[in-house]
Amino acid sequence: MKYVDEFRDGKVARNLARTIAAEVQPERRYHLMEFCGGHTHAISRYGLRDLLPPEVRFIHGPGCPVCVLPVGRIDSAIELARDHGAILCSYGDPLRVPASGRMSLLRAKAEGADIRMVYSSADALKIARENPDREVVFFAIGFETTTPPTAVALRQARAEGLKNFSVFVNHVLTPSAIQNILESPEVRELGTVPLDGFIGPSHVSTIIGSRPYEFFAEEFQKPVVIAGFEPLDVLQSVLMLVRQLNEGRAEVENQFSRAVTREGNLKAQALVAEIFELRDRFEWRGLGEVPYSALRIRDAYRDFDAEVRFELPYRSVPDHKACECGAILRGLKQPQECKVFGTVCTPDNPLGSCMVSAEGACAAYYTYGQFTKITAVAEAS
Amino acid sequence: MCLAIPVKVVELLEAEQALVDVGGVRKEVDVSLVDGVAEGDYVILHVGFAINRLDETEAQRTLAMLREMGVEPGAAA
Amino acid sequence: MSANPKTVKRGYIRPLDLKHGKVEMAHGGGGRAMAQLIDELFQLAFDNPWLRQANDQALLTRPEGRIVMATDSHVVAPLFFRGGDIGSLSVHGTINDVATSGARPLWLSAGFILEEGFPLADLKRIVDSMAAAAKAAGVPIVTGDTKVVERGKGDGVFINTTGVGVVPDGIEISGDRARPGDRILVSGFLGDHGVAIMSLRENLSFSTSIQSDSAALHELIAAMIAAAPGIHCLRDPTRGGLAATLNEIARQSGVGMTIREDDIPVREEVDAACELLGLDPLYVANEGKVVAVCPPESAERLLAAMRAHPLGQDAAIIGEVVADEHAFVQMQTSFGGRRNVDWISGEQLPRIC
């Protein structure tokens, strides 16, 4: 058992796809939101849409930490490196995200800001130890999966008494985003966004467990299936959702039981709770200000909070007018419905954040060929 | 979101670090977020940290279910 | 060299300290120090009749056939890696650029940009490796140049090489000749070079036994042309990997391509390293592989010729050229779906999500 190849067997996939095709009811549509960009990526990369009947529709959710990061936060990160002279350590993902004034972390780096790509929060700590006379800031982004590693680095920094290390925290919370979508007027009152069920996050759920989703299943009567990221995991979860919908059930089911329990990783949760607390509100790209949807550093660790140390003000910056990332992140629009998709906005020259990350809905559409079909269809008609 | 992959723990090192293997590639990672990691365990690796242990019995159960759920070609008449 | 003992004594210069010495600004200054560096290092290592003439240029006899010329500047960090170094890479890279036109490579030039303070021992290692690569390939380095930049203004050493070769009449190989129905072949496992390099980058550090595939391909290519003289396109998938090369050919030829994931040779370790970093092996660099496009009737013959050569023993037919005015490259996934294989966007960055 290697936990990878076993879940990529094309033959099993085709059989599973036949079962799904046999079980969907032809008169109904199954609008399934895959919350995570990881699922969007798997669907595109393995060409899963080709295997599924047309009754099953995917709606791409906001589960990509790069895509939901608002422009103002990238601006602040650039400011840290450029105006405060800090070494800014960032994961690879945010480097290309467009900031204000045609800037990005990569462009700021080209102009001389000291911005370094790291693979892990531990690498940022190492850079801080090696540069005692420089301020070193770790640009922490990500959902619940990526928060515990940031917490480990903060705990370590305090234990070592590192004076030149701080963290610019942008960790956001999955359940708040799901709730925001479910409570949005488009979904709840207007019904303009049909949303029948959720393919739930896999790696986030390894940390938070399956329990937080129970509320959505009950309160909003939407089935949730927590799904692994391998292609067979996604297909199986689709089948589980189709069955729930056919039978009129709205439950939380756990397809990714090899890694997710109801309680999650309690050790990681405890560490996160020790170091972080809820922010009253946090701006998400596309969703706007979402209450209690992000974390900040507790007072006990405030010496390591870059927002405190550098007195960083937050300035909200509107997205580019033509960019539809907001609507796409809320499931209101598909990438190809955006006017600038594939023209002004491409992975080489992204206008919006959904085109940046490999798992942003627009980038996945562009890179893995949904674009092809659109062109082909446009010509056929 | 959250690129993470299953890796095998091949050796426990000092200071809650461990050497892991994935398809012959080896890397030192932090295992402080998971209790009682042992050599031979499979863990999920994310940004240099093990975030959870994989459960083989559950994985086998999922695979069995996957095969069961699939209709063999020709079986559907 | 034929000086008598007396003049040697008067003009005695202490030999270069190739163990502990460093590159100094004077080594590029045009004076005695530069002459010494050339004599004691480059000349000695690359030794051939053209260099022995000690002129500023090489006088070459015009060969029969059409002349091909290619140039490539090499900047690589780290300079030394498993399976090669910047020296051998700079020889192989340019030989391959010449050879993929169907040409026999004849001569190389080498231009060095050295950073002040660079250890002479490392420089000697690089130069010796270049010399060995050129000798093994049978392509002499006939002229060269050295410049030194101040400390902090280079990255140790940059090497530019230019190659000249000659294409026999009747061989027409070009990126714009792919036609629907043609078969697409690769000469072996993809992504080895890129992964070998990435495994050494400080902040990615992982250990692997994968080595760079850096190799001179002209003999393999000569064997391929002998077996299938009607080959339409040849290209080495370096930066941007197989994906970039296929997209280039598709665009130049105005055709589409369909490749099969199952048939593309990628080592398990390369696959694993890519999973670890969130990269795709199709976009990872190679330095000793060639992609060929040939008419369907000669594909099997070409494949057999490739597999008969040590550098092509893992060759495979990976797909077909199709008619598509959008010039899309598509892949049949192992899983049974279909996806686009687009150009790389910027530099491939390791990602967390």
More confident residue, C287 or B2: C287
Least confident of A126-140, B37-51, B56-70, C96-110: B56-70
**pLDDT recorded at residue A155:** 96
Is A258 close to B35, i.e. CB distance below 8 A? no
Neighbours of chain B (3+ CB pairs under 8 A): A, C
Residue C72 belongs to some domain of the structure: yes
Chain C touched by A286 (CB under 8 Å) = no
CATH label of the domain that carries residue C197: 3.90.650.10
Provide the pLDDT confidence category of residue A313 given band limits of 50, 70 and 90. confident
Closest partner residue to C208 (CB to CB) among B2, B5, B24 is B24
Residue A62 has pLDDT above 90, yes or no: no
Which residue, C108, C139, C167, sits at the end of a domain?
C167
**pLDDT recorded at residue C16:** 86
Is B48 close to A15, i.e. CB distance below 8 A? no
Least confident of A227-241, A305-319, B62-76, C155-169: B62-76
Is B48 close to A259, i.e. CB distance below 8 A? no
Contact assessment for residue C266 and residue C286, using Cβ atoms and an 8 Å cutoff: no
Average the pLDDT over B33-58 and give the result.
93
How many angstroms separate the CA atoms of A109 and A129, rounded?
21
Instruction: State the amino acid at position A26 in one-letter form.
Output: P
Residue of C nearest to A359 (CA): C353
Is B25 close to C272, i.e. CB distance below 8 A? yes
Give the 3-state secondary structure percentages of chain B, helix then strand then coil, rounded to 5: 20, 40, 45
Q: Give the pLDDT confidence of C321-344 residue by residue, as tens digits.
A: 999 988 999 999 888 788 888 877
Residue C160 and residue C22 in one domain: yes
Distance from A116 to chain B by nearest Cα, in Å? 15
Residue C203 has pLDDT above 70, yes or no: no
Q: What CATH number labels A67-174+264-309?
A: 3.40.50.11740
Distance from C220 to chain B by nearest Cα, in Å? 29
Beta bridge partners of C340: C330
Residue C176 belongs to some domain of the structure: no
Residue A69 has pLDDT above 60, yes or no: yes
Is C209 close to B26, i.e. CB distance below 8 A? no
Residue C3 has pLDDT above 50, yes or no: no
Least confident of A32-41, A106-115, C215-224, C252-261: A32-41
Domain boundaries, chain A: 4-63+192-254, 67-174+264-309, 325-380
Residue B28 has pLDDT above 50, yes or no: yes
Is A369 close to C337, i.e. CB distance below 8 A? no
Provide the pLDDT confidence category of residue C163 given band limits of 50, 70 and 90. very high
Average the pLDDT over B42-63 and give the result.
92
CATH label of the domain that carries residue C18: 3.30.1330.10
> In sequence order, which residues have a C-beta less than 8 Å from that of residue B27 and are 6 or more positions away?
B7, B19, B20, B45, B48, C205, C206, C207, C276
Residue A27 has pLDDT above 70, yes or no: yes
Average the pLDDT over C231-237 and give the result.
96
Chain B touched by C64 (CB under 8 Å) = no
> In sequence order, which residues have a C-beta less than 8 Å from that of residue B73 and are 6 or more positions away?
A14, A15, A18
Is A257 close to B61, i.e. CB distance below 8 A? yes
Chain A touched by C338 (CB under 8 Å) = yes
Q: DSSP letters of C197-247?
A: HHTTSGGG--B----------HHHHHHHHHH-TT--EEE---TTHHHHHHH
**pLDDT recorded at residue B42:** 94
The DSSP H or E segment spanning C72 is strand C66-74
The torsion of the CA quartet A40, A44, A46, A50, rounded to 10 degrees, works out to: 120
Chain A contacts of C327, Cβ < 8 Å?
none
Q: How many CB pairs under 8 A join B and C?
A: 42
Contact assessment for residue C239 and residue C285, using Cβ atoms and an 8 Å cutoff: yes
Residue C102 and residue C196 in one domain: no
Q: Give the pLDDT confidence of A249-258 residue by residue, as tens digits.
A: 999 999 999 9
Give the Cβ contact number of residue C138 at 10 Å.
Answer: 13
How many angstroms separate the CA atoms of C353 and A28, rounded?
33
How many angstroms separate the CA atoms of C59 and C63, rounded?
12
Provide the pLDDT confidence category of residue B76 given band limits of 50, 70 and 90. very low
How many angstroms separate the CA atoms of B24 and A76, rounded?
40
| Domain boundaries A4-63+192-254, CATH class | alpha beta
Residue of C nearest to A376 (CA): C326
**pLDDT recorded at residue C199:** 86
Residue C163 and residue C202 in one domain: no
How many angstroms separate the CA atoms of C295 and C293, rounded?
7
Is B24 close to C272, i.e. CB distance below 8 A? yes
More confident residue, C321 or A34: C321
More confident residue, A167 or A42: A167
Average the pLDDT over C119-131 and give the result.
96
Q: Give the pLDDT confidence of B51-61 residue by residue, as tens digits.
A: 999 999 999 99
More confident residue, C10 or A196: A196
Give the Cβ contact number of residue A267 at 10 Å.
Answer: 16
Residue C36, domain extent: 5-167
Residue B50 has pLDDT above 70, yes or no: yes
Measured distance between the N- and C-terminal CA atoms of chain A, rounded to whole angstroms: 48
> In sequence order, which residues have a C-beta less than 8 Å from that of residue C289 and are 6 or more positions away?
C186, C187, C188, C189, C190, C213, C217, C236, C237
Residue C141 and residue C195 in one domain: no
Q: Give the pLDDT confidence of A93-114 residue by residue, as tens digits.
A: 889 888 888 889 999 999 999 9
Average the pLDDT over C204-228 and give the result.
92
**pLDDT recorded at residue A72:** 92
Residue A191 has pLDDT above 80, yes or no: no
Residue C76 has pLDDT above 90, yes or no: no
Is B24 close to C271, i.e. CB distance below 8 A? no
Global confidence as pTM: 0.85
Residue A248 has pLDDT above 60, yes or no: yes
Decide: residue A192, CB within 10 A, 0-12 exposed, 13-18 middle, 19+ buried.
exposed
Beta bridge partners of C100: none
Closest partner residue to C339 (CB to CB) among A45, A66, A96 is A45
Is A142 close to C352, i.e. CB distance below 8 A? yes
Residue C20 and residue C120 in one domain: yes
Residue C155 and residue C236 in one domain: no
**pLDDT recorded at residue C111:** 96
Average the pLDDT over B31-57 and give the result.
93
The torsion of the CA quartet A192, A193, A194, A198, rounded to 10 degrees, works out to: -160
Q: DSSP letters of A147-180?
A: HHHHHHHHHHHHHHT-SSEEEEEEEB-HHHHHHH
Domain count, chain C: 2
Residue C225 belongs to some domain of the structure: yes
Residue C144 and residue C191 in one domain: no
**pLDDT recorded at residue B72:** 59
The torsion of the CA quartet A103, A109, A111, A114, rounded to 10 degrees, works out to: 130
Length of chain A: 381
Contact assessment for residue A90 and residue A139, using Cβ atoms and an 8 Å cutoff: yes
Provide the pLDDT confidence category of residue A259 given band limits of 50, 70 and 90. very high
Is B26 close to C276, i.e. CB distance below 8 A? no
Instruction: Decide if A4-63+192-254 and A67-174+264-309 have a common fold.
Output: yes
Distance from A18 to chain B by nearest Cα, in Å? 6
Residue of A nearest to C333 (CA): A46
- A20-to-A30, A56, A234 alpha-carbon distances in Å: 11, 9, 12
Residue of C nearest to B28 (CA): C206
Residue C61 and residue C197 in one domain: no
Residue C196 and residue C142 in one domain: no
Residue C90 and residue C207 in one domain: no
Beta bridge partners of C146: C112
Closest partner residue to A47 (CB to CB) among C277, C333, C353 is C333
Residue C191 and residue C336 in one domain: yes
Average the pLDDT over C74-78 and give the result.
89
Residue C88 and residue C48 in one domain: yes
Q: What is the DSSP secondary structure assignment for residue A315, as one 8-state letter?
A: -
